[in-house]
Amino acid sequence: MTSALIFGMSGLDLTADERAFFREADPWGYIVFARNIADKAQLLRLTDRLREVSGRADVPILIDQEGGRVARLKEPVWRHPPPAAAFAGIYGRDVETAMEAAFLNSRLIAAELREVGINVSCSPCIDLLHEEGHGIIGDRALGSETNQIAELGRAVAEGLLDGAVLPVVKHIPGHGRARTDSHLELPEVATAHEELSRTDFVPFRSLSDMPMAMTAHVVYSALDPERCATLSSRVVHHVIRGEIGFDGLLMSDDVGMNALSGGFDERTHRALVAGCDVVLHCSGNMDEMQECLRGARKLDGEAARRAAAALDRIAPPSDFDAGKGAARLAHLMAGGTAIA
């Protein structure tokens, strides 16, 4: 039975050890990074190999392709998508143009991902931009106003879905107030629950119908002063599932980040016990992955239902002319207006 895990891999192709381990572990999905990417032909071979090893044609294969500084598919082989902040800037001048541009950019990303066998994009990032927040969010944010982020976030997500790619909204219930980078240390946010509910939670409530979401490795002292969201059953059940109303597949952020402590088996176990459906481990380090597997469990019950429901959201892509789409996007980004 499939394990409640998503794993990275070390290089441009699977090693013999990785093939054997992945067959044994049978993780729910995989994630690729720049270290795994050379060109289109190579990446398609790799994703084909992952499908072959898993024995599942629809195995989730994830990537971070937000645009801007978070883009694993790079020039000159691929188009470089603009950062989220570019659409936020347009929104301030012309809402409809911003919405069309965000959708088109996302639809182009979906076409680029499907061409190389990737069916999940870890976007949109719908964290609010706060002045006090760390730059790790920065221009990845779709703005600082809740309704704007919700509208642009939905345009991004719907563009991906239109191209048969699952979106992952992140970082639930909100990373924008964190003053430190959770890759490096554990952030703590002291904002009152009522204020969080009125602001940071709003985009996530608006997109609570999306198929997948990624947790934040952030302590919200008003919610749970001892555990970050990823490891907090109080945050997962009362806030994410309850107050926000998200019933899709909940995946952890990378358990290899320094915000978390303890062995990888402990990190994995604690995230799953807290209520995450699957645990993400990105580095491709074999020793760490083996530890994660020891702390994991099989994907069953409600987690399996949510996983199946997420994959059911992948429908055949709509008819789309990528050349015309790219030209239209360039026109909009240069100051053109939306189609009436």
Phi, psi dihedrals of residue 334, rounded to the nearest 5°: -90, 0
Which candidate in 58, 183, 237, 321 is catalytic?
183
- Beta strands of the chain (E only): which ranges? 3-7, 27-32, 61-63, 65-67, 70-71, 120-121, 166-172, 188-189, 212-215, 219-220, 249-254, 278-281
Place of tokens 């997420």: 310
Classified as helix, coil or strand, 213 is strand
Which candidate in 26, 64, 224, 253 is catalytic?
253
Is residue 87 a contact partner of residue 49, using CB atoms and an 8 Å limit?
Answer: no
CB atoms within 10 A of CB 319: 5
Rounded to whole angstroms, the Cα distance separating 125 from 175 reads 9
Could you confirm whether 134 is annotated as catalytic?
no
Could you confirm whether 237 is annotated as catalytic?
no
Residues with a catalytic annotation lie at: 183, 253
